Amino acid sequence: MTDEKRLNEIILRAIDLGLLDLGEGTRHTIYYHVERIQHLKREEIPRRMEEFHEALEKLLGAGTRAVEKLIVRNLYDILGCELIENNSWTLLDYVRDVSQRNHMAKLAACSCKSQRP
């Protein structure tokens, strides 16, 4: 499996877990509306992060920041990386950071399972 595909799986897992923090019904509703608003299916999200971010903003407004923070915490937790929060960053910035910071070696060893249930 390529590093990019592995990273995409990890990003999607982090999104799933972050949205699950809001409840199963809410997660399902967000995915439904993201697909309706941006024509963006769940499995396409890692490759179309900017559109996902835009859909969250349209759907959640100011609440987008809180939801993205949940996703980011899960992303760094899955990768086993230290999260240093930057208040001006969005989910897009953190995903770029993960892909640019040479976390690829950790991706190969990552089982893509969070320590949370």
Neighbours of 82 (CB within 10 A): 6
- The predicted model scores a pTM of 0.85
Compare 117 and 73 and report the one with higher pLDDT: 73
CB 68 within 8 A of CB 90: yes
Give residue 69's pLDDT.
96
Chain segment 70-100, per-residue pLDDT in tens: 999 999 999 888 888 999 999 999 999 888 7
Question: Where does the pLDDT of residue 102 fall: very low under 50, low under 70, confident under 90, or very high at 90 and above?
Answer: low
Sign of torsion over alpha carbons 63, 18, 3, 88: positive
As its CATH architecture, domain 3-109 has Orthogonal Bundle (1.10)
Instruction: Fill in the amino acid letter for 78.
Output: I
Compare 116 and 28 and report the one with higher pLDDT: 28
Residue from 15, 22, 89 nearest 52 by CA:
15
Give the Cα separation of 91 and 98 in Å (integer).
11
* Per-domain boundaries in the chain: 3-109
